[in-house]
A and B are shown apart, each in its own frame.
Chain A
Amino acid sequence: MGDDLIYNILVCDDEKDIVDAIEIYLKSEGYNAICAYDGMDALEAIENNDIHLIIIDLMMPKLDGISAISKIRAEKNIPIIILSAKSEYTDKVLGLNVGADDYITKPFNAIELLARVKSNLRRYTSLGSMQKEEDVFEVGRITLNDRTKEVRLDDNIVSLTPNEYGILKLLIKNRDRVFSSNEIYEYVWDQPAYNVKKIISVHISNLRSKLEINPREPDYIKSVYGMGYKIVGD
């Protein structure tokens, strides 16, 4: 990441107070915020500025968020984060299908917002620059290097216990595959599993609090309720 470059982030919401608050947060992290208050404003701002990331509301006057996103997507590849009061599953799916990269519901947590901004910027700027190594596995912000036994989160080293590392390695190597608690125990501990469901769930919970932006709503280490766990992501 080029540290000398100041990222321009477009914040678009019809509620001025919210835009102002986000602007304060972004400035405190060293980003440059450009404000817009409706969809047309946003399109105009994108024309006139070199924008690196967009935070956009869905319900706005003049041009709503969904239409604005599809218009932006027709031309540009910049990361788009939806910030909406609509928390329905269908709303999220619709937003992501139109071309948004992430979805945050209102009322949002500032730490979460900033983490998602950072993660999306990193993915956008470092895309394609990473060369694939043999023992390196990557999911979203998480990188696991099995040669050096290192786990990095957005380039920062995370310290994991050996068991947590084992679980993460198993899941990340077999992305999208669901492992039950018993299977995880048998692979990682290398012992027959007996009454281990609680232990595994606690380990998973710890892993999430170390790796996820919001451990309660994980992006990567997902629970498949009543079946097991899996890692998803790109």
Chain B
Amino acid sequence: MNRNISRKSKIKYILNNMYLEPLCLYFILFFTVGAVILRAVVYIIGGIFLPFFRILFGDNLSKITRLVKFFISTEVIIIIGVIIVFIIILNKIIKKKFFKSLLLYNIFKYHKSDFKVYKGIILPFLFSIILILYFFLMFLSEVDILYLCLFIFTLLISITLLNYAEQINKIMYSIDNIAKLQKTDISYIGSFGFTLEAVNMLNNIDQNISETIESQLKSERLKTELITNISHDLKTPLTSIINYTDLLKNLDIKDSTALDYITVLDRNSKRLKVLITDLVDASKTETGNVNINLKKLELNELISQIYGDFDSLFNEKEITFVFDPQEDIYVLADGDHLGRVLENILGNAYKYTQEKTRVYGAARREGDFVIFSLKNVSKEKLNIEPDELMEQFVRGERSRHTEGSGLGLYIARNLMELMNGELLLSINGDLFEAKLVIPTFNK
């Protein structure tokens, strides 16, 4: 009983999961072989039991013999086979699985690009197949050495054609790999003639491309190193400027003009300090020359931690930071770098928000990402495209008299990208919004 069930389900499984073409082939095999065997068995049984049947059926024997002969005739078996195949196909169509169960359809769907190459040789290939068959049949009927030679000749032509197509296919595959900057081993193509040349050329191209990329990386690294070294050299004279300005401030100077000049010196030397540090950071984040240590972090805690240092500054300008997190939101990010990004956009909000207004911060989940948005009302008219703001040395008011380096958002954007996230800015009238897209933490 159990075995019956399992056999039934096995057949069902085969019917459901086998591609239609091989299934039909099996049926044809089953019915052709089956029909021959069936006929043989019936004739043997009929021969052995003929006297017995004669007694049993008497006069009707000739009718029954004709009936049995009819049922085991090739035509009837073919018709039965066709009907069964038809039922299976109908069943698949009703279940809307007809195309999916076709082997050809699947091959074309998933290996389409592999077949494109063969399209070009379809006509000559078919023609040579027909010639092969023709010469083969002629050879069979006449056993002539000429037909044998022609047969082998056409066979060779079609094999060569296939081989060519195959090699072009592999070359195309290699070009695709090179374009995707994947390491390709082209030498495996067994090649001769023009394909050998093509393979050599491809190898050269591959080598050239990797060399270019390598030298590009090297020059980027050198650039960062150069900027870092220059910044070290700049810091030494700057240290003197800052400290002697500080010493000047501490002197008992009565002249108000001199005091004004000292204030200007003080402000600008400090600005220069910020610029130099930010320049190094901008260059490092641009080339990805920073260590990224992704960890599970609670975003609301982090935002609050960064905000803590801005609280007194915001209070000075009577700006309220509206931020009321309800639940814990976990993200996968580098705490120090995400902290820096938040510092930059909060610092930006502090610098450019209209006094006595509110700054809104909120984090929410969206699919695989967490989005933190910070909205504020700009104190000045923003005549600038949001994307432009993230370029180097660009500021909203297109002037350079305010504090900061103009690199803050550029660094923030680079850092977000290095952490697989994004920084998006949008401007709607005076409403400015910065959005951080951060990957969520998934176990």
Contacts and interface: CB of A to CB of B under 8 A. Distances in A.
Contact of B236 (A106, A110, A200): A106
Q: Specify the main secondary structure of chain B where it touches its partner.
A: helix
B309 A108 contact: no
User: Among B233, B298, B306, B321, which residue has the most Cβ atoms of chain A within 10 A?
Assistant: B298
B232 A85 contact: yes
A205 B232 contact: no
Given A110-B246, A202-B311, A195 B301 contact: no
Contacts of A195: 324-326
A204 interface: yes
A123 interface: no
Given A86-B232, A225-B338, A226-B297, A200 B238 contact: no
Contacts of B301: 180-181, 197, 226-228
A145 B240 CA distance: 41
Interface stretch (A17-25, A62-70, A166-174): A17-25
Contacts of A202: 307-308, 311
B335 A59 contact: no
B365 interface: no
Interface in B230-263: 231-233, 235-236, 238-240, 242-244, 246-247
Given A225-B336, A226-B295, A216 B238 contact: no
Contact of B309 (A25, A87, A181, A205): A205
Contacts of A76: none
B239 A181 contact: no
Nearest to A28: B250
Contacts of B65: none
A181 B300 CA distance: 10
B299 interface: yes
Contacts of B287: none
A18 B247 contact: no
A8 interface: no
Contacts of B243: 18, 21-22, 25, 107-108, 110
A224 B240 contact: no
Contact of A225 (B269, B277, B302, B324): B302
Contacts of B295: 226
Given A110-B243, A181-B301, A198-B307, A226 B333 contact: yes
Contacts of A110: 243, 246
A136 to B, nearest CB: 28
A223 interface: yes
Contacts of A59: 232
A49 B247 CA distance: 28
A31 to B, nearest CB: 16
B232 A201 contact: no
B170 interface: no
Interface string A71-108: 00000000000000111000000000000000000111
B338 A17 contact: no
Contact of A197 (B232, B239, B325): B325
Contacts of A201: 304-308, 311
Contacts of B240: 15, 17-18, 21
A106 B231 CA distance: 11
Interface in B263-302: 269, 273, 277, 295-302
B18 to A, nearest CB: 54
Nearest to A215: B309
Interface string A172-198: 000000001100000000000001011
User: Among B232, B238, B277, which residue has the most Cβ atoms of chain A within 10 A?
Assistant: B232
Nearest to B299: A226
Interface in A103-133: 106-108, 110
B372 to A, nearest CB: 12
A205 B304 CA distance: 11
Given A24-B247, A195-B325, A201-B305, A225 B297 contact: yes
A216 B309 contact: yes
B386 interface: no
Interface in A4-62: 15, 17-18, 21-22, 24-25, 59
B344 to A, nearest CB: 14
Contacts of A86: 232
Contacts of B420: none
B139 interface: no
Contacts of B312: 205
A227 B298 contact: yes
Interface in B198-240: 231-233, 235-236, 238-240
Contacts of A181: 301, 304
Nearest to B340: A225
Nearest to A17: B240
B323 interface: yes
Contacts of B326: 195
B239 A18 contact: yes
B186 to A, nearest CB: 41
Given A108-B239, A197-B304, A227-B301, 10 more contacts: A17-B240, A18-B239, A18-B243, A85-B231, A85-B233, A107-B242, A197-B301, A197-B303, A224-B335, A225-B336
A-B residue pairs, 8 tightest by C-beta:
A226-B297, A201-B308, A225-B335, A197-B304, A85-B235, A205-B308, A226-B302, A21-B243
10 contacts: A85-B232, A85-B235, A106-B235, A195-B326, A201-B306, A204-B308, A205-B309, A225-B339, A227-B297, A227-B301
Interface of B: 231-233, 235-236, 238-240, 242-244, 246-247, 269, 273, 277, 295-309, 311-312, 321, 323-326, 331, 333, 335-336, 338-339
